[in-house]
Amino acid sequence: MATTTQHSPPSDREKVHLSGAQETMLGTLFGRAQDAENEKPILNDTWAGHVLDQIDYDFTKLKMDRMQSIAICMRSRTFDRWTSEFIRSHEDTGATIVCLACGLDSRSLRLEWGPKVRWIDLDLPDVVALRRKLLPSPDGDYKLVEASVTEDAWLNDIPADRPTLVVLEGLVMYLTAEDGEDLVRRLVEHFPSGQLAFDAVGSLMIYLQSWNRMLKATGTTMSWGLNYPQALEALNERLKLRDVARFGDQDGANELPYAVQWVAWALSVLPYLKDLGYILRYEF
């Protein structure tokens, strides 16, 4: 398996031409690859370096810093844990895992899941085409779907025969409120039981997004902000908030340098700052 220190000749690399929210997935990839090279990684996603080594893209454009990489990897590690917990808790019945806007994420490769699990990764056609070139498909009941999350057909094609976890990592803030709320309603109405796991930002973060260098570099705009964690409970009476993980609550926070732990604490408990963003797990 390659790492970020093993570089292919530029002529052998896949040129990547993405923009907007799709381009931000390259920042996520870069952050995970940087982390995997650290002596004490948070996520240790070695697949990220494998992918990074195959593409031709100027990552300096994204102006990623160490703090962003830390946040990306703590978020992914939290989603990994929640996914593994869901799979273990449904070993008897089996489970479906659906990762929307999967990008170049390797969760289906880095986690263990058995024959009773159906795994579906979904993204837009150009992203799926790139993913097929750069990442192998895992063994088992796996499907990679080309679709927009705002369409209906892909959801109708997923059997609603078992508990389902839907992971929406790095997605909902780029949807309009109307599209996001409609997506949540459709998911809860389609599956008989399960969980939704996603990261969200508050309206203050929407207001401050011009300070985010990666968003500015990619021409991306965040649109949908949730001002309090329980906001989506109003969309369906079956939908209940289960967990809120602010920055200081996320997996790996206690492994950070002490100075960064203080920042994490402030972003978790201080008024206004604690609602800049969080990771949420709902059940239905």
pLDDT averaged over the chain? 93
Type and span of the H or E element at 121: strand 117-123
Would you state the pLDDT for residue 204?
92
Rounded to a whole number of angstroms, the distance between the first and last alpha carbons of the chain is 39
User: Average pLDDT for residues 209-216, to the nearest whole number?
Assistant: 92
**Strand ranges of the sheet holding 117-123, from the earlier edge strand across to the other edge:** 141-146, 117-123, 95-100, 164-168, 194-201, 277-283, 240-245
Contacts of 150 (CB under 8 A, 6+ apart): 175, 179, 182, 183
User: Average pLDDT for residues 130-156, to the nearest whole number?
Assistant: 97
Greater model confidence, 41 or 262: 41
Would you state the pLDDT for residue 11?
58
Would you state the pLDDT for residue 5?
41
pTM assigned to the model: 0.92
Q: Is the pLDDT of residue 8 over 60?
A: no
Q: How far apart are CA 238 and CA 225, in angstroms?
A: 22
Q: CA of 210: how far to CAs of 27, 174, 242, 247, in Å?
A: 17, 14, 31, 21
Q: Is the pLDDT of residue 26 over 90?
A: yes
Amino acid identity of 196? L
